[in-house]
């Protein structure tokens, strides 16, 4: 029986020694800071296809605005007249002229304003996409840092279990430990080894997502990302709401859409006025090339016959403008609720993180040390030691998840308020510099 137990121990040790199972420890650790996130955000701005496409659309809109002409291209007419020679000699049989549409009633200026408004909308939309993707990037970074921390906790737990197995195997040889205790520890070690495989795969998936956002090779390696400490509290305030109403990226896009719809409505109203064209026409006689006559021509269309159609065009553009204004109003009404929801949720996870860091983790560490010491002297059972170890393990994981969730929701709050990063919250009196205290391992 002891030979079988020793064989199991050897196989388990070899499994843990496999880097693919336990994960190689990172040679460098990178703390997740606002500066680190900003650097990756700039890399994403340069490489992400969606952002490049948005920039291309903005460039196209800029070129369209610059291409609006005040003067249309003039038209040239050339023709001839077939008649008796006497009439051709008298009136001229070679007819030529030029005609130019006149930029009256401010139509070109309104068309240029509509094109410039479209350009401003595309610019705002490009910034909105960047801000949204930057928020997604920040949240993915914190999820990746959490995945790294979960793997680290799993590796520490595996080392602890390996130590316990070795100690129990030695005690078993001297009949100080039972076979049931040894098998229970081996089972815990096997489950931890399997869970570590899963945690490594999940970490790889988060790194894959990060590489996708940065348009890197999916297999690009990452250093160990370290979660920041618990951030100070962020209280709900009217200044947060004001920032959300004024600077939230989608709000800016919708405001530009209202202006674009307003410019289109103004241009449509002006389209019902007639278009005027001025032209010059001359005639020469081909027989001797001499000039015979010249004319000045003024042309204009009569739009009043289609008055009802023009009125429908105006009603259509006004309805679009009204719809854009109502959409903006509806979006702004939800801003206060969203800011309030985020501040309440951030405060809840912050208090949870502090609870685990300051109370539950220290108590669990003390309880585990006491239970292990008592077990080694025969005053406690192994089951109590393992149960205490599970409580400590859960506490460390819950602390890490609470910190990651706090910063994830802070990323949403930064986006909701139209700010650049966490440090921008200092502008409204909310200091989010991480606390210096770190949880014990």
pLDDT of residue 151: 96
Indicate if the pLDDT at residue 378 is higher than 90: no
pLDDT tens digits along 312-322: 988 998 999 99
Length of the chain: 441
Instruction: Output 389 or 14, whichever has higher pLDDT.
Output: 389
Q: Where are the domains of the chain?
A: 2-428
pLDDT of residue 7: 39
Instruction: Name the CATH architecture for the domain at 2-428.
Output: Up-down Bundle (1.20)
pLDDT tens digits along 226-274: 999 998 888 888 888 888 888 889 999 999 999 999 999 988 888 888 8
155's tokens: 């590796």
Q: What is the pTM of this model?
A: 0.81
Instruction: Output 260 or 286, whichever has higher pLDDT.
Output: 260
125's tokens: 């939309």
Mean pLDDT, range 344-353, rounded to an integer = 94
Indicate if the pLDDT at residue 11 is higher than 80: no
pLDDT of residue 422: 65
CB atoms within 10 A of CB 352: 19
* Interior/surface letters 401-421, b for 16+ CB within 10 angstroms, e for the rest: bbbbbbbbbbbbbbbbbbbeb
pLDDT of residue 111: 87
pLDDT of residue 277: 87
């Amino acid at each position: 029986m002891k030979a079988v137990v020793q064989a199991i121990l050897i196989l388990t040790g070899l499994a843990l020694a496999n880097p693919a199972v336990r994960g190689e420890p990172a040679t460098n650790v990178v703390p997740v800071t606002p500066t680190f996130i900003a650097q990756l955000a700039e890399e994403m701005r340069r490489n992400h296809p969606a952002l490049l496409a948005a920039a291309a659309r903005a460039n196209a809109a800029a070129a369209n605005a610059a291409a609006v002409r005040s003067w249309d291209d003039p038209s040239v007419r050339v023709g001839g007249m077939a008649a008796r020679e006497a009439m051709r000699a008298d009136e001229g049989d070679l007819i030529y002229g030029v005609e130019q549409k006149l930029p009256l009633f401010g139509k070109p200026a309104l068309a240029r304003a509509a094109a410039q408004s479209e350009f401003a909308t595309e610019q705002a939309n490009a910034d909105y996409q960047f801000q949204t993707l930057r928020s997604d990037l920040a949240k993915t970074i914190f999820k990746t840092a959490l995945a790294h921390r979960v793997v680290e906790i799993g590796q520490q737990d595996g080392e602890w279990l390996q130590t316990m197995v070795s100690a129990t195997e030695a005690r078993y040889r001297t009949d100080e430990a039972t076979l049931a205790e040894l098998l229970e520890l081996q089972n815990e070690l096997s489950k931890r080894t399997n869970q570590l495989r899963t945690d490594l795969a999940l970490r790889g998936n988060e790194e894959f997502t990060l590489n996708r956002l940065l348009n890197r090779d999916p297999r690009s390696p990452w250093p160990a990302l370290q979660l920041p400490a618990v951030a100070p509290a962020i209280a709900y305030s009217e200044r947060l709401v004001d920032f959300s109403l004024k600077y939230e990226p989608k709000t800016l896009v919708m405001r530009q859409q209202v202006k674009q719809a307003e410019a289109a409505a103004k241009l449509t109203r002006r389209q019902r006025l007639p278009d005027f064209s001025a032209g010059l026409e001359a005639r020469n006689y081909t027989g001797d090339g001499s000039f015979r006559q010249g004319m000045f021509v003024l042309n204009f269309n009569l739009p009043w016959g289609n008055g009802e159609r023009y009125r429908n065009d105006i009603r259509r553009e006004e309805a679009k403008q009204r719809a854009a204004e109502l959409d903006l109003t509806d979006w702004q009404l939800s801003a206060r609720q969203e800011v309030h929801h985020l501040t309440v949720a951030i405060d809840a996870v912050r208090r949870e993180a502090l609870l685990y860091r300051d109370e539950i983790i220290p108590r669990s560490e003390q309880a585990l040390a006491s239970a292990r010491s008592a077990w080694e002297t025969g005053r406690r059972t192994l089951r109590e030691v393992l149960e205490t170890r599970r409580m400590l393990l859960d506490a460390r994981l819950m602390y890490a998840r609470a910190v990651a969730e706090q910063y994830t929701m802070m990323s949403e709050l930064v986006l909701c308020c139209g700010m650049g990063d966490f440090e921008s919250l200092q502008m409204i009196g909310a200091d989010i510099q991480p606390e210096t205290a770190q949880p014990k391992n």
